[in-house]
Amino acid sequence: MHRRRLRPAIVALAVIASLLLTPSAVTAPPAAAAPSGGKKVIANLFEWNWPSVASECTSTLGPKGYGHVQVSPPQEHVRGNQWWVAYQPVTYRIESRKGTRAQFKSMVDTCHAAGVKVIVDAVVNHMSGQDNGGTGWAGSSYQHHVYPGIYQAQDFHYCGRNGNNDIVNYNDRYEVQNCELVNLSDLKTGSGHVRSQLAAYLNDLLSLGVDGFRLDASKHMPAADIAAILGRLSRPAYVVQEVIHGAGEPITPIEYTGNGDVHEFRYGKDLARVFRSERLAYLRNFGEGWGHLPSGVSSVFVDNHDTQRDTGGVLTYRDRGIYALANAFMLAWPYGSPTIMSSYTFSGRDAGPPSDGTNKTLDTACYSGWECEHRWPVIANMVGFRNATEGAGVANWYDNGNNHIAFSRSGRGFVTINDEDSAVNGRSYYTGLPAGRYCDVIHGTFSNGTCSGPVITVDGNGWFAANIPAHDAIAIHLAARLP
């Protein structure tokens, strides 16, 4: 297979860089199969506090057309600054370093008013991983396998393997679903009591207006257990499950699709490999054609909070220009439901978000400790492209056999990406779009009938001519057509 050289990061920036800162056996009826409505893009505001999420829904997410915001786990957790403390529940009180119950409720209401639905990252597989117990964020006392008023020792799995009950062998289904994930006390999700407690937590969030859940560590629970918990929900909710594909492993993502959407972890890794060292021409059948999950149940992302901490596996904010291009492709390509990662700047793998001396998360200040990729103009403007082309198929595919591609979204939009190391000049492109003047949303924002960047003129036969610099793109769509 042809492999081109890895480009230095400074080369990958190109023109884009200047824009950055400006089937399960059991089905649970209450789960929605995909994000509802015409606006399916999710912004993952990882570790943002509730007032900041509320403000962002009003100022950016709603206006830019994001349909959903995914927020970090809101329940009381163990103390500390690391990002993963939020994934170690102590109680199901909505009280965490990101804010109070009242602030959470206000955030949900504010986001709804801005037309943005709220998805909660819900930790339901386990409780804490602290051997000696302690006191949680809101003052609740706990032990590793005792959570007063919620769970006692009999509510957890003790698999009796590997000397410490931890998972070691991912080729053993029993071990993966009955042993402890890195010492996290593993809930006996087959138990009626545990199911009732978890359903009560999720229903409490639904009572606050939440629209859906990302179920963390779903792979470590049988799909039937998840279905039984979802069957106790008070009303329908969108569900996406974290099930990491492992080659040759007995537990597969497809088992969980009867419960709702499933994260397709292969997507980001494959996309990174293509952009870094292979050919964009290979993307012609990207998605199901690559053995990924069926599009209708697949949740996709260039990176998420876990994968961006895995060295070299995916593209992240540090890749700047090429990262923006990969996200632009994801938003233009009609496979899966896309999530845009919004990170804080980190160097150490365990580093938590910007916080005060008590480890309370600070208000978000974009581009100052917070990366805010969802605001990068290339990415934010392509959310509108995704919305405008929702439901339209791919047509008019073109590639040069290497790293220049183009395609239409059946009469609604057109995109061309040049990831060559040199410009592509003097070419014309067939769009299949009506004649008119269109805002190039890669380089400009369309607002109130005007475009802040270049305007592309499509002639009466559906063609336009343009020069495209190295590592750059052009995207136009019907909803950004000038008068």
Domains and CATH numbers, the chain: 22-264+336-375 (3.20.20.80), 395-480 (2.60.40.1180)
Are the C-beta atoms of 335 and 287 separated by less than 8 Å? yes
Q: Of the residues 56, 76, 155, 242, which is catalytic?
A: 242
Mean pLDDT of 340-347: 97
pLDDT in tens, 288-316: 999 999 999 999 999 999 999 987 799 99
pLDDT in tens, 395-439: 999 999 999 999 999 999 999 999 999 999 999 999 999 999 999
Mean pLDDT of 207-228: 98
Cα three-residue angle 103-57-359, rounded to 5 degrees: 45
User: How much is the mean pLDDT over the chain?
Assistant: 93
Residue 3 pLDDT greater than 70, yes or no = no
Letter string b/e over residues 271-299, b meaning 16 or more CB atoms within 10 A of that residue's CB: bbebbbebbbbbbeebbeebebbeeebbb
User: Please, where are the H alpha helices in 309-392?
Assistant: 321-332, 377-389
Q: Tokens for 403? A: 């790293």
Q: Of the residues 155, 175, 216, 264, which is catalytic?
A: 216
Sorting pLDDT into bands at 50, 70 and 90, what band is 377? very high
Residue 418, strand partner residues: 404, 472
Give the C-alpha separation, 305 to 47, whole Å.
10
pLDDT in tens, 130-170: 999 999 999 999 999 999 999 999 999 999 999 999 999 99
pLDDT at position 11, please? 33
pLDDT at position 2, please? 35
pLDDT at position 31, please? 54
User: Please, where are the H alpha helices in 216-296?
Assistant: 223-230, 265-277
pLDDT in tens, 267-279: 999 999 999 999 9
Residue 151, strand partner residues: 147
Nearest to 443 by CA among 357, 359, 321: 321
Residue 376, strand partner residues: none
Residue 36 pLDDT greater than 90, yes or no = no
Residue 12 pLDDT greater than 50, yes or no = no
Give the C-alpha separation, 188 to 157, whole Å.
6
- Whether 242 sits among the annotated catalytic residues: the reply is yes
Q: 3-state class of 218 per DSSP? A: helix
Nearest to 136 by CA among 178, 88, 65: 88
pLDDT in tens, 86-119: 999 999 999 999 999 999 999 999 999 999 999 9
